[in-house]
Amino acid sequence: MIERSNWITLVFATTASGWAVLVRLLVGLIVFFPEGIQKLIFPDLLGAGRFAHIGIPYPDVMGPFVGVFETLCGALVIIGLLTRLAAIPLIVIMIVAILSTKVPILLGHDFWIFHVPKLPRYGFWSMAHEARADFAMLLGSIYLLIEGAGAWSVDAMIARRHRAPAN
C-alpha cells in the first residue's frame, strides 16, 4: 500500500515549469472544456447523434458520459487540480476518437464497429489533416500525465504544503 505522503507526491508533485500552464490551457480551455459542454448542449450534432453516426455503442449513454468527463476533466486541467488523474480519461477519449474517426479515413473504409465519414479523399494525408488536433490533444494530455500541472497550479501548491521538512 502506498503511504499517504507518497500518494500525494505521485498525484500532485510536478517538476514542470510554470509555463506548463500553456499546455494546460491548450488542452483544457481550448479543447476539452468547451467540447464537453457542446456535447451536452448540442447532443444531436456533437454528442449522442454524432456517436451513433460513427458507430460508438450506446450513443445515448456515451454521448453525455463523454461530455461530462470532457467538461470536468477539462476544468480540472485548466486550474491544475488533480491534473495527472484528469489526463487519464482525456487520453482514453483521444485514443477512441482517433480509432473511431481517423483510422477509417486512413483505411478508406469502415474499421471494426466504426463508420468511414464521407470525405473528398481518403488515405494517409487526409487522415493527417483531419487528425492534427486529435494528436495534439493526445500528446498534450500525455505530457500532463508525465510532467504534471507545472509550478503555477493548484497541484503544485498542494505538493508544496505536504513536502517533507528538510533534515
Q: What integer is the mean pLDDT of 60-70? A: 97
How many angstroms separate the CA atoms of 74 and 95, rounded? 16
Q: How confident is the model at residue 139 (pLDDT cuts 50, 70, 90)?
A: very high
The domain limits of the chain are 4-161
Residues in Cβ contact with 85 at an 8 Å cutoff, skipping those fewer than 6 apart: 11, 76
Name the phi and psi angles at 115, rounded to 5.
-100, 140
Distances (CA, A) of 2 to 49, 86, 87: 43, 20, 21
Average pLDDT, the chain: 90
Q: What's the pTM value of the predicted model, to 2 decimals?
A: 0.88
